[in-house]
Amino acid sequence: MDMNTTINNGINENAEISIQTADFDHGFEVNLLENENVEDGAVVTFSGRVRNNNLGLKVKGLFLEHYPEMTEKLLADIIQTAKQRWNIGRVKVIHRIGQLAIGEQIVFVGVTSKHRQDAFAANEFIMDFLKVKAPFWKKELTELGETWLEAKTSDKEKAQAWSK
């Protein structure tokens, strides 16, 4: 089941969130951020992919589960907070769910702004809070079998550092 939602409620104008099983095209997403957007000189994108290794084990693939009714709302809240904190233009967040193979894309965060500092910071902020707030869970398939990943303290500390 694919869900594509455009959020156009005031502060989140120009923000789009998509939770989907399908892959995405990085170049196409950059084009969407840039298309008819000549106010912004900076475009910062992050994409996360499935590694073939974790904690010393060979990884064969990932399964991603989420809480559908809650995910988009939480991501919208994170984007809204970023928009209040930095002067940014367009935002796109894509997160895939379901079964993913090695090398496949998992997540995309794209942010535009007039100057690079805002887009760099907002992109990192959105990604840091997505990691610790958005209700997604990864199950890893390794040479030893299937395991649900544990949340990392380092991710929590990274998100907390934004409030210092």
Partner 1 sequence: MIKVIFFAALREQLGCGGTEVSANSASTVAEVKVALGQKNNEWQNYLANNALLCAVNHQMVNEEYSVKAGDEVAFFPPVTGG
Distances (CA, A) of 62 to 42, 110, 115, 122, 140: 32, 23, 36, 27, 5
Cβ contact 42:116 at 8 Å:
yes
Q: Which stretch binds partner 1 (CB under 8 A): 9-17, 78-86, 111-119, 127-135?
A: 127-135
Instruction: Say if residue 86 is exposed, middle or buried (CB neighbours under 10 Å; 0-12, 13-18, 19+).
Output: middle
In the bound state with partner 1, the residue whose beta carbon lies nearer, of 18 and 40, is 18
Q: Which stretch binds partner 1 (CB under 8 A): 37-45, 83-91, 114-122, 123-131?
A: 123-131
Where in 49-108 is the site for partner 1 (CB under 8 A)?
64-67, 69-70, 73, 95, 106-107
Q: Which of 160, 158, 130, 155 is nearest to 66 (CA)?
A: 130
Cβ contact 102:146 at 8 Å:
no
Residues 6+ apart with CB under 8 A from 147: 139, 140
**Interface with partner 1 includes 26 (CB under 8 A)?**
no
As a whole number of angstroms, the distance between CA 20 and CA 65 comes to 11
**Interface with partner 1 includes 134 (CB under 8 A)?**
yes
Q: How far is the CB of 129 from partner 1 (least distance, A)?
A: 10
Q: Which stretch binds partner 1 (CB under 8 A): 10-18, 49-57, 113-121, 136-144?
A: 136-144
Using CB under 8 A, pick the residue from 102, 132, 142, 162 that binds partner 1. Answer: 132
**Interface with partner 1 includes 136 (CB under 8 A)?**
yes
Binding residues for partner 1, per CB under 8 A?
48, 64-67, 69-70, 73, 95, 106-107, 127, 130-139, 148-151
